[in-house]
Amino acid sequence: MPSPGGHHGGTLAAIALVVALGAAGATAAALKLRREREADALAARLTQGDPSRGPAIALQYGCAGCHAIPGIRGPGGRVGPPLADLGARVYLGGRLTNTPGNLIRWIEDPRAVDPQTAMPTTGISKREARDMAAYLLTLR
């Protein structure tokens, strides 16, 4: 005689395990999403820019032609340094300390900071430079 629940007990435990694992997965995904949202909000606050506009701007002004930038499909140029870990850099263009304000300044007009720099002034507006800086600051 099969004991009542013996077989079922195992099945229920398996179902409980699957449900628990599913919940853990959903929690991890939610946490990742929250971290991304927080990074976006912080970058927006530091720059008064909108990070979501970064990719379009990087293509429009050729940033992605000279720099490898995560999340932006471009030729992945090697003319300028990759901008992946920009948030961790100490100096910009070897001259400016890496603060949000200096990043915006550099992006808007690098030749005003250093007339000798190989990075051209691209004609990007202040507003767009803020958006681009916000995007770059979300990269960690």
Q: Which of residues 1 and 88 has its CB atom nearest to ligand HEC in the complex?
A: 88
61 binds ligand HEC (CB under 6 A): yes
25 to 54: interface string for ligand HEC, x by CB under 6 A: ------------------------------
Residue 69 exposed, middle or buried by CB count within 10 Å (0-12, 13-18, 19+): buried
- ∠47-59-101 over CA atoms, to 5°? 20
67 binds ligand HEC (CB under 6 A): yes
* Element counts in the chain: helices (H) and strands (E): 6, 2
Rounded Cα distance between 37 and 61, Å, is 26
Q: Which of residues 79 and 112 has its CB atom nearest to ligand HEC in the complex?
A: 79
Q: Which of residues 70 and 81 has its CB atom nearest to ligand HEC in the complex?
A: 81
Rounded Cα distance between 39 and 131, Å, is 14
**Interface residue list for ligand HEC (CB under 6 A):** 61-63, 65-67, 79-81, 83, 86, 89, 92-94, 106-107, 114, 117-120, 122, 124, 132
